[in-house]
Structure formats: structure tokens, C-alpha cells
Amino acid sequence: MNKKLSRRNLFKASAGLAGTLLGGKALAQVCSSTTARQALGPFFPNEGTPEIPVKEDNSPGLPIHLANDNDLTFVRGIGGHAQGQTVIIKGTVTDEDCHPLSNARIVIWQASHTGKYNHLRDGTDTRFQHPETGQWIERELDPSFQFWGQSTSDANGEYAFKTIVPGFYPADLRNRWYRPPHIHFMISAMGFPQLVTQMYFKGEDINNNDFIQELNQKDYLLQDSSLSEEQRNNLVVEFTPNPEGTLEGTFNITMKR
């Protein structure tokens, strides 16, 4: 337990430091266009929908999507570490005029490293063949993975998550459509309509990056023609090793009134 707590505190400390170092620079780039909306999808964690009801905070009345913290790489009380490549996602939430939005609530949810959501509706194609290698992939839950979490932006509008790169998964096998690794985001800020979007991956150190970029190019949601080129680029976050060797990327979010 102590080990887990210290790991958690370390993450908070390092995220805070990085946020301070990057704050001013990030802001200048944040507000050129508002963050594109993307589909909510069928796997948002509601009461009764997860196969494993992961709840780190059992406070009465707390909805399950708000019951977990911003480190998805382990589950308090369960033990073990989530499988998959660990990443840190940091960013600043602003309005269109570049003003940082404090107290914005950011909820994320995603699949396991083998592309399985912790959701009762994700029960089809539990086994599929890799479209290039032909290798069979078993889509499985990972009990040490937290699957969803939440964070609140600080006074500078900054937030952070630690998680893993999710697996890709079949969206429509007949049409050979595979969803690239992505993380669902829901952002609520006072005075703004709720924003729902998805974040995608790139980076030389991301496992199978070339294949992931092919999937990004072919993904119907990311390539939706209603997105501007800039909006599309902003959804694909580049991950590079930070000084501790963990892959880290910046996903800034610009809210539209």
C-alpha cells in the first residue's frame, strides 16, 4: 500500500512540475481552433454497465464515472500494474481567447491494452485477426487496469493523467474498419457546453507506431470531413520520453462557448 501511495504522489509531483515548466509555452499554441467534437461511443461507464465495477472511491451517491482518480495504471486495493505501454497525458483547458479554465472536470475512458472495454456492450469480436500479420488477438479485460478516471484542471487550467496505450479493435470487420488506439474525453467547464471528444496517438517510441498511423489515416471518425486539418492534427498527440523515460504527450483542449 505504501509503495502505491508513494508512486501516486510522485506522479502528482512530477505532473505539477512539468505543468509549471510548460504552462506559458503551451498557452500560446492552445487557442487557434476549438477542439473538435467526436462521438461519445457506446462504452461510457454508467452505473451497471461495466463488467468489473471499478470504484476506487466508494462515497455514497458518487457516480461510477467519477469514482476513480487520474492514474489508470493500477487500481487501489486490487494490486498489480496495468499491462501495456505507460503514458502521461498533460494539457491545458482554455476558452477560445486562451484564458485558462480552472475547475474543469475531465473524464476519460478507454479500452485495455488488447482493445477491450470494461463494458457489458463490448461483447462481440472478442477474438480477431490482426489485419496485417494474421495473428489472433484476444480482447481481454485487465483487472489491474482502471479503465476510466477523472481529473480537475488547476488554477492554470492544467490537468494530467497517467494511463496506458489502448489496443486497436475492430469497429466493423466486414468493411475492415479498425479503431486506432484512442482515449475518450468528456470535459465539463462552467459556462460551456459539455465537450466530448477522442484523443489519438503518434510517436516513434509508441509500439507499432507505423501501423497505428495507418489506422489513423483510415479511421472514419478521425478523418471525418467536418474536422479542419488543424482540428484533426490537434487530436493526434505526439508522445516522447520525458526525463524519467516515461512517454509523455500534451493534449490541449479549447472549449467553444
Which residue lies nearest Fe ion, judged by its C-beta?
Answer: 41
Contact 26, 94 (CB under 8 A): no
Check residue 174 and report its DSSP letter.
Answer: G
CB of 61 to Fe ion, least distance (A): 28
Q: What's the min distance (Å) between Cβ of 64 and Fe ion?
A: 18
How far CA 100 is from CA of 16, 37, 183, 240, 246, in Å, comes to 16, 19, 22, 25, 26
Interface region with Fe ion, contact rule CB under 5 A, candidates 39-47, 73-81, 97-105, 160-168: 39-47
Q: Which is nearer to Fe ion, 42 or 80 (CB)?
A: 42
Closest CB to Fe ion among 90 and 184? Answer: 184
Q: Least distance to Fe ion from the beta carbon of 208, Å?
A: 18
Q: Which is nearer to Fe ion, 162 or 179 (CB)?
A: 179
By CB under 5 A, name the one of 41, 76, 125, 192 that touches Fe ion: 41
Q: Of 170 and 249, which CB lies nearer to Fe ion in the complex structure?
A: 170
Apex 158 CA angle, 160 and 239, nearest 5: 50
Nearest distance in Å: CB 179, Fe ion: 6
Range in contact with Fe ion (rule: CB under 5 A) among 26-34, 40-48, 86-94, 132-140? 40-48
- What is the DSSP secondary-structure string of 198-239? EEEEE-TTSTTHHHHHHHHHH-TTTT-TTS-HHHHHHHEEE-
The dihedrals phi and psi of 234, each to the nearest 5 degrees, come to -70, -25
Shortest reach from residue 111's CB to Fe ion, in Å: 7
Contact between 171 and Fe ion by CB under 5 A: the answer reads no
Q: Can you tell me the distance from the alpha carbon of 35 to that of 47, in angstroms, rounded to the nearest whole number?
A: 28
According to CB under 5 A, which residues from 115 to 154 bind Fe ion? Answer: none
Amino acid at 111: A
Applying CB under 5 A, the site for Fe ion has a residue count of 1
Q: Could you give the CA distance from residue 256 to residue 94 in angstroms, rounded to a whole number?
A: 9
Torsion of CA 187, 256, 198, 40, to 10 degrees: 70
Q: Which residue lies nearer to Fe ion by CB, 74 or 147?
A: 147
* CA distance linking residue 153 with residue 155, whole number of Å: 7
- Closest contact distance (angstroms) between CB of 221 and Fe ion is 9
Q: Which residue has the cell 470535459?
A: 187
Contacts with Fe ion by CB under 5 A lie at 41
